[in-house]
Amino acid sequence: MTRPPYPSARLCSAADDRGRSLRPSASQGFAAFQLLYEHKYLRYAQERLGSLALGHGAVVAAFSALSAIWAEVLGRSCPGTVSWQVLGHTVSAVRSASVCPSIDVDALYEVLPVLQADAVLLRDRLGMSLSGAADLMGVDESALVVLQRLADRSLDEA
């Protein structure tokens, strides 16, 4: 009678599979990113669009676009900046395509460059901390300070 083969190959294979499942996959990384930023993105989009429904739709569309290019986004030097740009472009597209009533936030984006207006919106309108707003936009805190100072000067002159 022969002994059954030792199941070492199957044990090693199972151990390898367990090891792989502990490492986050790209989709797990994206899911974590989405969980971390979804609420903050929604607050921004809702404020920009003046509507929770439109804001939600814009955020869903932005995350859908990001998921399609996630590997490329992660290869960039600052994924947060790319993600913020995708959200901003998506919100602007929804704003242009929708019949939205004019809201007071529109005035910011009419007189300021987009990043300066975003800085003012996040810090002044939504009350975000310097570090929180900088993280959300994917910029250094010092860059956000500069953006906000430039915006303040422009608004004082307007």
Taken in order of first residue, the domains within the chain and their CATH numbers are 25-101 (no CATH), 104-158 (1.10.10.10)
Long-range residue pairs from 34-38, CB within 8 A, at least 24 positions apart, any chain:
34/63, 37/83, 37/136, 38/63
Amino acid, single-letter form, for residue 117: A
Residue carrying the six token digits 């989405």: 34
**Closest to 121 (Cα-Cα) out of 37, 50, 56:** 50
pLDDT tens digits, one per residue of 24-59: 556 888 999 999 999 999 999 999 999 999 999 999
The separation between CA 96 and the C-alpha centre of its own chain, rounded to angstroms, equals 20
Question: Based on C-alpha coordinates, what's the Rg of the chain?
Answer: 22
More confident residue, 9 or 25: 25
Contact 146, 152 (CB under 8 A): no
Contact 133, 144 (CB under 8 A): yes
CB neighbours (10 Å) of residue 115? 20
Q: What is the mean pLDDT of the chain?
A: 86
Rounded to two decimals, the pTM is: 0.81
Across residues 56-70, what is the average pLDDT? 96
